[in-house]
A and B are shown apart, each in its own frame.
Chain A
Amino acid sequence: MTDVGRHPRITLHTLSEVVGIKGYVGNFDVRIVKKARYVDEKECTACGECAKVCPVVRPDEFNVGLSSRKAIYSPFPQAVPSAYVINIKECLGHNPSVCSKCIEACDKGCINFDMSDEEFVERVGSIIVATGLEAYDPTELDEYGYTRFENVVTSLEFERLVNAGGPSKGELIRLTDRKHPKSIGFIQCVGSRSARKGSEYCSNICCMNTVKSTLLIKEHYPETDIKVFYIDIRAFGKGFEELYKRSRRLGVHYLRGLPGKIEELPDKSLRVAVENASTGKLEFHDLDMLVLAVGIKPAKSTQRLQEMLGLQLTSDGFFLEAHPKLQPVDAATRGIFYAGCAESPKDIKDSVTQASAASARAIRLMHKGEISSEPITSEVIADQCKSCGKCVDVCPYNAISVDTKKKTPAVINTAACAGCGNCAAECPFGAITMNHFTDDQIINQIDAMLSEKPSEKVLAFACNWCSYAGADYAGVSRLQYPASVRLIRTMCSARVDESFIWHGFMKGAPVVLVSGCHIGDCHYINANHWTEKRVNKVRKKMEKLGLRPERLQLEWISAAEGIRFAEVMRRMEKLRREVSKEEIEKTISILQNRRK
């Protein structure tokens, strides 16, 4: 920690938050608000004289409220920067006549009530999101009595109680009588692995954290009776099983079953009612103290940051990586990386590993000092652009700007453009062309495919990342399916212009399939939402024209779903067989009339 404070290449902004980000990979302009500390960070020596005279006493956040601090305080002894800070909402003395005792006590004159919040912009080439976690608040799990019984504590409170720098100087005591507890229970999976309350996922660290805690207790107070109530013990990491075995060897009782009810006894001890899953019997255990092994939740700031940076979240609320196996620290947006619990619950070792990986990925991006842009981007044909701004609305990367008032043509920032082609499909005036996947190129493919015996073929569009890869996977797995389908690859299903579909039907395609990544898995953030909208729109129009909308199909097929791809192809073939030559001819004439 101290290395960070003194490293010449690290600019540290504490009490600071990112409030806005502009730009793109290579050059992000980041707006940061730094709250006033009211103490000169460089001059303060952390002597503590100011805190001695401060009359305001408040719960200490660092010790999760188990001790107190003043309104002017140091967060904890090893804090970096090691300067005091004033919580201005708690302080009485903005007005010197009211208090200002600290100003008098500070010999160096570090305290300055005139400091104000600063706002500034930093330009960076890459961003690492390491916003961490929040511990689960067990209040809602009323059966455990966290708010009702004082000797029920969370694992984080327990950490502070056994810490030499904590409120009890490392003495493990019960909060009610300050005596050493003779028996302690741990309840696992508090806020984790539950469909009912808390989260459904496993928080990853709580099993080993409890194992660690039992070892610490046994080290200092070997006579303590320890019981751990659990569903499974997940000791999967390197050296973990060994620690777990050591804990069992030292006599810690591991009892399978989560308590259903906790009662407080007159001496403030706790009676735990639990069904022991091994025996199937209801048991009661009287314990001096109970520790709730609370799970990990995404940090509160996650959603705000996700919106600001255009990132994606998993259904659990953690940041979603670009690829779970091959790009586990990259965001889908180029130049942004994840480290630590922001991405998923993990322990310190994994956080450190991921942080090193994230910095290596950032270096890989930056080391040349320049950045090459993917040439498969879209381009505006300026004289056809009517400045309507539709492209701006659909671009998942905010890469397009247009002045709808001044009616100047849209401008595409090619460095920010990822090349999905959504804008080209959306533009009603044909004023955007998508390099390497131009309208003409794709129309040519459709023409070539349907020039002979169109009624025997299924026209299918597949996105490069999921559905086309799923088709490859079907091949690698040697899954057999009817030979009627012909695939046209686009980078994203959102490239599929309404006109491609109409063109296909006009050329005699019995069935048209549009396929892409599952919703939420799109490689272009959320571009496939627009795919869905477009397909539904065409279907509605088909209905109005008297065409069977079933002939236009939309399927989400992932890169791993070879089996599903083959199934879909069999379904398409079945659909194709239901379309008669007369129906195709009728379609062509309806569409030709519509054109006129």
Chain B
Amino acid sequence: MKNNILTTTSIDAKQQARIGVYICHCGLNIAQTVDCPQVAEKASGLDNVVVSKDITYACSEPGQQEIKDDILEHGLNRIVVASCSPRLHEPTFRQMLQSVGLNPYLLEMANLREQCSWVHMHEPAAATQKAIDLVKMAVSRAQLLGPLYEETLPLTKRTLIIGAGVAGIQAALDLADNGYDVVLVEKQPSIGGMMAQLDKTFPTMDCSI
């Protein structure tokens, strides 16, 4: 077992949390409805928040660079990005953390776009209040985030194929021709399956075997 995630421990996650909060405008996608500077202002008063700012596009190259610079300059060890859904950009920001030596699991996201600005477009005040709550929740969770490590385990480069009809045969040959060992198990005394019983087959009208 070994860790395959780089953690050059220039920044120790076990130290007291030093949190950076970034409220993304996403152009106007979020900023049109949510008062981003106000959200950033509120977040700056939360426990352990060292940096809190609003940012035009967090995912863009300059946006990421700004966050990375802050991490190094202020020794941040937890990052909260309040932007779009984590289902979209969580991998992006995890990579960003990793590139400056932070464990990728020290990231938390607040979903201000899909689950706030886009669904409360006509209620800017309520949306801003919700955004503040979502950021507060993310910060509170970030306080307790810890580094996680992927484990790597040995693997057997061999495939079991159950059934040796046309699908099993094709899969077996593809794997074997690529240099992988195959164990092909068939219940009947011969391979071929249903296909072998067919005469000509569509659309080519040639024989099946």
Q: Complex Cα distance A342/B187, Å?
A: 15
Chain B interface mostly: mixed
B149 touches A480 (CB 8 A): no
CB-based contact B162/A9 at 8 Å: no
Say whether B148 contacts A376, CB under 8 Å: yes
Chain A residues near B139 (CB-CB < 8 A): 448
* Chain A window 13-46, contacts with chain B (Cβ cutoff 8 Å), 1 for yes, 0 for no: 1111110000000111010100001000000000
B126 CB contacts on chain A under 8 angstroms:
483
Q: Shortest distance in angstroms between A359's beta carbon and chain B's nearest beta carbon?
A: 4
* Contacts of B187-201 to chain A: CB distance below 8 A: 187-201
Chain A 58-74 interface residues, beta-carbon cutoff 8 Å to B = 62, 64
Residues of the A chain whose Cβ atoms lie less than 8 Å from the Cβ of B167: 130, 132, 339-342, 351-352, 354-355, 358
Q: Which A residues lie within 8 Å of B154 (CB)?
A: 26-27, 369-371
- Let me know if B141 and A356 touch, CB within 8 A: no
In chain A, positions 435-490 with a C-beta closer than 8 Å to chain B are 435-436, 438, 440-442, 444-445, 447-449, 451, 457, 464, 468-469, 471-472, 474-476, 478-481, 483, 486-489
Q: Which residue of A131, A216, A242, A354 is within 8 Å of B200 (Cβ)? A: A216
Q: Does B150 contact A (CB under 8 A)?
A: yes
Say whether A381 faces chain B, with CB atoms less than 8 Å apart: no
CA distance A315 to B189 in the complex (A): 31
> A326 in the interface, Cβ–Cβ < 8 Å?
no
**Interchain Cβ contacts within 8 Å, total number:** 347
The one of A14, A360, A444 in contact with B143, judged by C-beta atoms closer than 8 angstroms, is: A444
**Inter-chain contact A355/B168, CB cutoff 8 Å:** yes
Q: How far is the CB of B204 from chain A (nearest CB, A)?
A: 8
Mark the stretch among A77-85, A97-105, A580-588 that contacts chain B: A77-85
Contact (Cβ within 8 A) A129 B162: yes
Chain B min CB distance to A462 (Å): 9
Contacts from A to B (Cβ < 8 Å): 1, 3-5, 7, 9-18, 26-28, 30, 32, 37, 62, 64, 75-76, 78-81, 85, 122-133, 135, 156, 159-160, 162-164, 166, 208-209, 211-212, 215-216, 237-240, 242-243, 299, 301, 305, 339-342, 347-349, 351-352, 354-356, 358-360, 362-363, 365-376, 414-415, 435-436, 438, 440-442, 444-445, 447-449, 451, 457, 464, 468-469, 471-472, 474-476, 478-481, 483, 486-489, 566
Can you spell out 23 A-B residue pairs with CB atoms less than 8 angstroms apart? A7-B176, A10-B182, A17-B187, A78-B192, A78-B209, A125-B157, A127-B160, A127-B161, A130-B162, A131-B162, A132-B167, A160-B197, A216-B199, A216-B205, A240-B203, A358-B167, A363-B175, A468-B87, A472-B111, A480-B119, A483-B116, A483-B119, A566-B119
Closest 4 CB pairs of A and B: A340-B167, A475-B114, A79-B190, A355-B170
Known: A1-B191, A163-B198, A371-B152. 19 other contacts (CB 8 A): A7-B173, A7-B176, A9-B180, A10-B181, A13-B185, A15-B187, A27-B153, A124-B158, A130-B162, A305-B162, A339-B167, A339-B171, A355-B170, A355-B171, A372-B153, A375-B150, A441-B145, A448-B136, A474-B114
